[in-house]
Structures are given as C-alpha cells and as structure tokens.
Structure 1
C-alpha cells in the first residue's frame, strides 16, 4: 500500500469529507476507520493461510490475531488423495474447526488427533481463514487496497453519521461523498441510511 493508505492520511481524508460535521469529532475518526475496515472485510472477504502446531492431547489453539472466521483445513487432504480408503491409516475422519470468540480468539478441533494421525499427516495443521483488515500508521502495512480506499471512506462516513445520531445532534450536518464527490444534507440518522445503502450497493459490485 502507498502512503495515502496510512492512518494519518485516511483520517485527514475522512475529516475533509465530513466538512462542517468534522468539528463535532474529537479522537473518534481513527476508530470509525477501524469499524469501516472490519465491515469491508466482512463484505469483501480476504483469505489468508495459517497454521498451528499440533500437540498430543490438545484440541484448543491460539488463532491468528487477524482471524475473522475459519474457512477450511488442508490437513490430511494430501493423504486422502494418495492413499486408498482400504489402506491402514487412511484418514476417514478429519477434525472440524470452530472458533471461540474473544480477545484473543481460539481454534477448537472437534476431536483430538491421535498420535498415529499426527505421525502420518504431520504436526503442522494448515488452514485457510477469513482475515480482518488492518489500518497502520505505515501505509505499506495497511491491508485495505488503494482501489478500495473510496469504499473504506464511504463506510467510515456512514459510521460517523451513526455516531452523531446516537449523540442526539439536532442540527443539520453535511457530508461529501468520498467516491462521487457529491454532497448530501440532512440529519445524521437520515444520512447514515443513505450512505450505508450507497456503500452496500457499491461494495457488492
């Protein structure tokens, strides 16, 4: 990612897009960007590869820090391709994986692999998972692509209007559309619905 995707630059862009209503925020803008990035990852899923080292007698393991949800495991699949079902050790049953939410998250195997299974298929349990986005002070470490910059800012604008509506702000505010450049006026709750609907439409394309 480029410098335009750093937390500082994105915060400044969001502040500019909110126009007069930007003055109603103190230090909340980075948090709004984080919420927007999480929702972007939910709609446009990002798949990464992870692994855990299996240990005898254990079925709970620390999940990757950026894990949003588990996708699928590749452990034992190679043996299923190369072995015949009647051969000794053929992996007829492989563990499913569920996620324990929290901070941190944990991966839970549906059953504990036996020593024989680990000896045959290895201690490295590789898997694919859906990952959350990260916005960093260093733009090169931000995981949102520059092509999705407008979507990120649009979602953050919507979240800003939601935040204002929850504060029971009675005066009219305005926000400039980060993608099209058009401006919209109205109370925060109405703007939230308009911006969110626009974002959902664009994000689904």
Structure 2
C-alpha cells in the first residue's frame, strides 16, 4: 500500500520533522497525516495520528474516507483499513542517526526499509543475530520495537520475522533492550492472545 505521509502543516514527512525523542536514539514526528488510495474500491482514506506518551504509541485522532468515483457503496466507506495505513506511515515518522557522531545526518527508518517489505536490511539482521553483538543488537531491537509499538502491532512478532529467531529469543532480546533503557516512551500492550 502506497501511503503519502505529511506533517499536519502539509509538508512532506522527513527526518527533520521527527523532533520528539523516544528510546535512547530515536526521534519521532509528534503528529502525522497519512493518505492512501485504494484503487480497487475507489476510496481515499486520510488518517491523522498523534504520539500519546501515556500509550507509548501513535493514536489515531481523525479518519476521513471519501469516494473517488460514483458507485462506491456507503458501507464500504465505514470499513477502511486505518491500521494498515498507520503501519505503513510510521517508518516515515521515525528518525535515527547511523553514526555515533553528533553531527551525523538523521535518516528515517523508511529510508532503511527495503523493497521486499523488511524494516531492516537482511545483512543487518544476520549480523545482529550472531553471538556477542549486544550493543548492535540493542540498536536494531530499538528500531524494530519502535516501528512496531508505535504503529500498535506486536513487536515480538516483528523481531521474530525480521531477525529470524524464535519467540523466546525475541522476547528475551526485547526484555534486555528495555532493561538497558533503550525502549523508553514506547509500549505495546498485548490484548487477549488467540491461543488462550
């Protein structure tokens, strides 16, 4: 899904708009407006979301759906995929520095994301999954957890998929990153799990 992400003022979302620090090394845009067009249904959906520090994630504040052509059923306008739009927009709203130099440029997570839908490149995932790379692993866990939690999707599942590790390992690495102070300001509250 192609999502156009803007600041509330209507400017393109860039790393410069990410001004709010979260975690130990990330900055996020405090608010964003994302628009997506579903060509098949003929519906354009606009979502305005805001970072809520009490929730530790982006919270949708406004949803606007409009038909782009005649013949769109009124019921279809009621069931738009806001979560998918937020999920696609969040990587454009998170910025980080790829160097420890304070003068290094900020880049968005979306700039790191590959065309195959991965959040981090395969080579980076393989490198941090090895033994003895604790600091680098915390860096990557912070990115993966941040993208997931801020979008309201399960971070453990994201870490499992991105790093090709089992659930227990993903949970352990997240717990260690949290204990190291790397996940401040980001939360994911799992609801009732499907398996009981």
TM score, norm. by length of structure 1: 0.23
Quick one: higher RCO (CA 8 Å, sep 6+), 1 or 2? 1
Please say which structure displays the higher CA radius of gyration.
Answer: 1
TM score, norm. by length of structure 2: 0.24
